[in-house]
Chain A
């Protein structure tokens, strides 16, 4: 029997759901192997008998919270996809600002119509079985997840830093150009796409573990005359929620 798959979006740009559609020819193979039962971006009919549910977007409103609990109840396996669902993502930018301010400039005089809460990853609300982080989610990793799921294999994320993939690609290290790249601290799996095109890593796949932040605290001050707090500020783009939880 084909596994029943659903794709949901909370607060976010829904780019990760769209990334699934962008699999194009490989999407057809996936559709051969699974039955999609609920996908707002791609279909109108819906059911709630779900084996694997993919969720993108962060929990950023009271409705998100209700919705993700409802989704969890109906999915045997719940998978967070993308930086927003896994880390809070860009939505967490608002966490550093007074609520009054951001509500006013986002919603103007109708601010009170739109309730909002601290942006957070869905794992802070419900149990998440797997995470496929990244902004956007890495299509190849999604494909690898589906392949593993269909074969009954255990999916695991790479447990090493972006540097591994960056070096395998033969890139010139951005530190050699005087930039502070978050690659040494960030979970690999993106094939180092940003450094490959000359942009520093901004940790959209999350900080690898707390040890790397400890090392960063020493290295950045002693070797680069930069404070860890400045780098953590860089992290606020995607990983503020996670960084707060780390040491």
Chain B
């Protein structure tokens, strides 16, 4: 059921309104000098709706950095009179993420869950609470190699204030910009944004029929890639702990951590201090870390609980398909395949699952 339908022009007017109050972030083609074709989409700050391309294929990176930045200061400290004072640094700049695909919305739901679990991470929460999210649905797979449909993350299940469904143009003919969107409200703020903006209309019966047709077409548009259904991956992995595949695959692994760093659901971090030259003041900062990096599970004194690349690769795959699912009931992997694209050794997660399926 749609809450509204809205024309492209009205949507742009609403987004421009949003940009007056918030930093606007959305998908844009980056044609900076360091890039050469093929052009790629990135989430970037923009000033106006018309700079966004809401019919983008996929963004190289997820919008995660805007909620959980690669590095941030947790607090500033000063050493005074043998003691210290500390001032927290919480980001509260109002932000709007416009044009988030279902895979990334599913990932944001996981981040929300992890950082909100007691004790809540106030640094994440501050950013998240000040972020307005407009999702946009994918009528078709954005590129080869994605397996979002296997994980049911080609559909949005929450994590948005407003969700947009491209109702004409996109579903039938690739590459054209939709003229109208179906709108679903995900939060009160989302509903108010559209209603108080006085844009869009109440959907007619014909609109609902169009939406039904859109959803039917979408169901057949997404191929499935996994030979073991996602619900059964935990059991598959349970049986595969001692498979030789981990060792064999990990021989190619550089332990460069690229898969972790591009993953929309990876949230591991490290905490380090930075000081002034004299050491009297400084910041305690956190930065992204990754379980594929060699030192990730190393303790002071040198012992490393996962010194072998194979153990680290297995750890990542188990987290994505088994442990996070078991612990949270949410998706640890959303099938966006960014890890697979980022891997210069071309280690491929679908291939791992399917090879394990054949082994058993």
Contacts and interface: CB of A to CB of B under 8 A. Distances in A.
A99 B263 CA distance: 50
Nearest to A143: B277
A196 B34 contact: yes
Nearest to A30: B277
* Residue of B33, B253, B257, B277 ringed by the most chain A CB atoms within 10 A: B277
B40 interface: yes
Given A29-B277, A216-B254, 11 more contacts: A33-B278, A160-B294, A161-B257, A164-B261, A168-B261, A173-B342, A184-B344, A197-B34, A198-B33, A211-B309, A218-B345
A222 to B, nearest CB: 8
B339 to A, nearest CB: 11
A163 interface: yes
A143 B288 CA distance: 22
Interface of B is mostly: loop
Interface in A12-53: 26, 29-30, 33
28 contacts: A26-B277, A30-B277, A143-B277, A146-B277, A147-B276, A147-B277, A159-B295, A161-B254, A163-B258, A167-B61, A167-B261, A168-B288, A170-B65, A172-B34, A176-B341, A185-B254, A196-B34, A198-B33, A198-B36, A212-B256, A214-B251, A215-B251, A215-B254, A218-B251, A219-B254, A219-B345, A219-B346, A223-B345
Interface string B69-81: 0110000000000
B254 A212 contact: yes
Interface residues of B, number: 40
Contacts of B261: 163-164, 167-168
A175 B344 contact: yes
Nearest to A162: B256
Contacts of B36: 177, 198
B338 to A, nearest CB: 10
B34 A167 contact: no
B213 interface: no
A150 interface: yes
Interface of A: 26, 29-30, 33, 143, 146-147, 150-151, 159-161, 163-164, 167-173, 175-177, 181, 183-185, 196-198, 209, 211-212, 214-216, 218-219, 222-223
A36 B277 CA distance: 16
A197 B261 CA distance: 20
A145 B294 CA distance: 22
A33 B256 contact: no
B30 interface: yes
B61 A160 contact: no
Interface in B277-330: 277-279, 287-288, 290, 293-295, 309
A20 to B, nearest CB: 14
Nearest to B344: A175
A147 B279 contact: yes
B193 interface: no
B358 to A, nearest CB: 20
Contact of B342 (A33, A167, A214): A167
A184 B290 contact: no
